[in-house]
């Protein structure tokens, strides 16, 4: 699947295996359940009504008749039909717990990535829209769609950071058509060493066409981002930068000129460049350069406006639709507002 395409609707598929080769789950085994789902070697006894009311793909199961004792053609367990699925037992456990227990996957609750990933995968596969939106909302706290949220994400993200998260979340997002987090992921990837990031992207377990598409978008977007940062974050270093009411015109001009000469020497290395520092510390630039109060305020305003302009155009740099389209297609925030 390419980044520009959407997946078709999923249909329920089963896998065959020998009967009675499973172990009942210790976490999800409802004695009054009406169906047994088997993934790998673990069985979950659940209610057809719960599945049908939340998952489009399971909806037809509500009409499955109870098998008779002499029906040799259907696999049963304790008079319940057995359905074998190709998912992992761990994913199914997280998904079913999220279905049965609202608090387990509550909006606004810190949730580890494996849980979010499991719920997103199966809510996408079995078409459970509320759980899917909730999972996307959680991922969006780590890679948000607004600059303000991005700047504050270290304090507000609900999916705790983990080693290798950029490629892990990137893979999950692509496989489950969650494009709204891709601009933030690509931006974060663009701040890392290019050889390291390319090596990790080459190892993504995607089909060859999709993987090459991802790498191409990343490389082109990384270059576009770097050019945009120089253009929109560093205008205050230009001689034409307007500084009315400067309290020390010559002194401030000399300091800005000196910094301009020094900063452009480093522009070949995006991990050390001055615009990167300004992007991360917009309120400290004027003070660090020892500019007057007026010039410090103007520099801060210039950098802030430039950062917003870059953010507004971030998706297009990586060949994606604009923020408005990405947010609309993934219904960001609707589930949280609805549930709270």
CATH classification of the domain holding 38 = 3.30.710.10
Task: Compute φ and ψ for 45, nearest 5 degrees.
Answer: -95, 120
Q: What's residue 298's pLDDT?
A: 92
Q: Are 183 and 150 in contact (CB under 8 A)?
A: no
- pLDDT, residue 250, reads 81
Question: Is there a single domain that holds both residue 157 and residue 32?
Answer: yes
Lowest-confidence segment of 131-135, 186-190, 238-242, 271-275 by average pLDDT = 271-275
Residues 166, 67, single domain; the answer is yes
- Which residue has better confidence, 259 or 294? 294
Judge if 157 and 21 occupy the same domain. Answer: yes
* Burial of residue 240, with CB atoms counted within 10 A of its CB: 0-12 exposed, 13-18 middle, 19 or more buried: exposed
Is 221 inside a domain boundary? no
37 and 93 together in one domain: yes
Beta bridge partners of 43: 24, 38
142 and 243 within one domain: no
What pLDDT shows up at residue 62? 65
Work out the mean pLDDT of the chain and round it to a whole number: 87
* pLDDT value, residue 309: 98
Q: How far apart are CA 91 and CA 131, in angstroms?
A: 14
Domains in the chain, number: 2
Q: pLDDT at position 255, please?
A: 86
Q: Greater confidence, 97 or 334?
A: 97
334 within domain boundaries: no
pLDDT for 158-207, tens place per residue?
Answer: 999 999 999 999 999 999 999 999 999 999 999 999 999 999 999 999 99
Specify the range with the lowest mean pLDDT, choosing from 31-40, 55-64, 211-220.
55-64
pLDDT in tens, 4-24: 655 444 545 444 444 568 999
Q: Which position has the higher pLDDT, 60 or 86?
A: 86
Quick check: 3 pLDDT over 70? no
Residues in the chain: 340
**pLDDT (tens digit per residue) in 207-221:** 999 999 999 999 999
Identify whether residues 168 and 265 lie together within a single domain: no
- Would you state the pLDDT for residue 17? 43
Which residues 6+ apart lie within 8 Å of 47 measured at CB? 30, 32, 33, 34, 35
pLDDT of residue 240: 81
**Residue 256 to residues 106, 191, 226: CA-CA distances in angstroms?**
50, 25, 21
Structural domain contains residue 206: no
Q: Say how far apart CA 295 and CA 247 lie, in whole Å.
A: 8
Is 161 found in the same domain as 265?
Answer: no
Do residues 34 and 102 share a domain? yes
Structural domain contains residue 217? no
Percent of the chain whose pLDDT exceeds 70: 85
Which of 144, 179, 214 lies at the terminal end of a domain, its last residue?
179
What distance in Å separates the CA atoms of residue 3 and residue 178, rounded to the nearest whole number? 9
**Lowest model confidence (mean pLDDT) among 5-14, 47-56, 285-294:** 5-14
Closest CA to 115 of 239, 127, 101: 101
- Report angle CA 41, 45, 49 to the nearest 5 degrees: 135
Which range marks the domain in which residue 28 is found?
10-179
Instruction: Give the model's confidence band at 245: pLDDT under 50 very low, under 70 low, under 90 confident, else very high.
Output: confident
Residues facing 42 on adjacent strands: 23, 39
My answer on whether 163 and 271 are in the same domain is no
Segment 63-116, tens digit of pLDDT: 656 555 556 667 888 888 999 999 999 999 999 999 999 999 999 999 999 999
- 225-245 mean pLDDT: 88
The confidence band for 302, taking pLDDT boundaries of 50, 70 and 90, is very high
Q: Classify residue 131: in a domain, yes or no.
A: yes
């Amino acid at each position: 699947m390419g980044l520009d395409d959407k997946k078709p609707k999923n249909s329920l598929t089963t896998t065959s295996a020998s009967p009675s080769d499973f172990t009942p789950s210790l976490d999800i085994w409802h004695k009054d359940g009406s169906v047994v789902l088997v993934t790998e070697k673990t069985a979950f006894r659940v209610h057809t009504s719960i599945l049908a009311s939340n998952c489009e793909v399971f909806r037809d199961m509500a009409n499955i008749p109870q098998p008779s004792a002499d029906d040799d053609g259907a696999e049963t367990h304790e008079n319940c039909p057995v359905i074998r699925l190709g998912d992992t037992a761990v994913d199914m456990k997280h998904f079913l717990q999220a279905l049965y227990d609202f608090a387990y996957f509550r909006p606004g609750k810190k949730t580890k990535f494996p849980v979010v990933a499991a719920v997103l995968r199966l809510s996408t596969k079995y078409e459970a829209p509320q759980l899917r939106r909730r999972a996307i909302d959680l991922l969006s706290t780590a890679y948000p769609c607004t600059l303000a949220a991005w700047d504050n994400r270290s304090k507000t993200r609900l999916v705790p950071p983990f080693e290798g998260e950029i490629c892990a979340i990137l893979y999950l997002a692509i496989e489950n058509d969650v494009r709204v987090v891709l601009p933030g992921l690509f931006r974060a990837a663009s701040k890392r060493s290019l050889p390291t990031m390319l090596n990790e992207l080459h190892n993504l377990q995607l089909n060859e066409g999709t993987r090459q598409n991802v790498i191409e978008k990343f490389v082109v977007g990384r270059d576009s981002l770097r050019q945009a940062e120089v253009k929109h974050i560093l205008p205050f270093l230009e001689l034409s930068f307007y500084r009315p009411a400067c309290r020390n015109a010559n002194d401030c001009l000399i300091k800005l000129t000196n910094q301009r000469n020094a900063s452009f020497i480093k522009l070949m290395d995006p991990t050390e460049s001055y615009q990167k520092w300004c992007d991360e510390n917009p309120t400290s630039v004027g003070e660090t350069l020892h500019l007057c109060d007026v010039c410090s305020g103007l520099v801060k305003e210039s950098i802030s406006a430039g950062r917003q302009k870059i953010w507004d155009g971030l998706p297009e740099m990586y060949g994606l639709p604009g923020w408005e389209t990405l947010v609309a297609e993934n219904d960001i925030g609707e589930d949280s507002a609805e549930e709270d």
